Amino acid sequence: MIPFVSVIGRGNTGKTTLIRKLIRELGQLSYRVAVIKHDPDDHGEVDREGSDTWVFRKEGSHAVILASPSKVTLFRTTENEQLPEELFPLCGNVDLIILEGYKKRDYPKIFLWTGKREELNIDPNWNVIAVIYAQEEEQEVMKRFKETAIPLFCRDDSMGIARFVERFILQER
């Protein structure tokens, strides 16, 4: 199976920004990365109303593939939510898959923590392998997590986080 890691955190904590930085940094380390974004509430409608893909889906097509010289986009109607593992083959020849979300699944997770919104503890069932924090919250994070063995990274240290992912996810598997 392709190695993967999930990035979790409350809304507007910087998950997408961190993933963008990891894609860039891991790419500089010569890794090919894919991303699967979890949308449990069906907020993200990608094919806009009136577009050909939208019309085909509204007419009842269970799958619509938009193919161009540089990319393939798949829209498929499903009976149930697909597990990320079922979607991995669609990612092609990659070295790592980053999941955005899936906090309730037993996957290795990088947790974007913010003192403004988080409780004192991380749920032990979350399988958190690293905590990411904002520079201005460093003292609070160090105080709250000093008793744990969870690695801590400032969100500004994107190369350090990428190197951690390389060691923990890519090289250990």
Residues of the chain with CATH 3.40.50.300: 4-40+81-171
**51 vs 22, more confident:** 22
pTM: 0.87
Task: Determine the pLDDT at residue 45.
Answer: 63
Pick from 112, 118, 120: nearest CA to 145: 120
3-state DSSP helix/strand/coil % of the chain, to nearest 5 = 35, 20, 45
| Tens digit of each residue's pLDDT (9 = 90 or more) over 44-66 | 666 778 888 888 888 878 888 88
DSSP string over 133-154? E-GGGHHHHHHHHTTS---EEE
Helices 158-165 and 15-28 pack at an angle, to 10 degrees, of 70
151-161 average pLDDT score? 96
Mean pLDDT of the chain: 87
| Tens digit of each residue's pLDDT (9 = 90 or more) over 110-148 | 999 887 666 546 777 789 999 999 999 999 888 888 888
CA 77 to each of CA 60, 80, 81: distance values in angstroms, whole numbers, following the listed order: 9, 9, 10
Direct distance between the N- and C-terminal alpha carbons of the chain, in angstroms, rounded to an integer: 9
Instruction: Report the alpha-carbon distance of residue 47 to residue 45 in Å, rounded.
Output: 6
Q: Is 170 exposed, middle or buried (0-12, 13-18, 19+ CB in 10 A)?
A: middle
Instruction: Report the alpha-carbon distance of residue 102 to residue 21 in Å, rounded.
Output: 20
Percent with pLDDT over 70 in the chain: 92
Pick among 3.40.50.12780, 3.40.50.300, 3.50.30.30, 3.30.300.30: CATH of 4-40+81-171? 3.40.50.300
DSSP code of residue 128: E
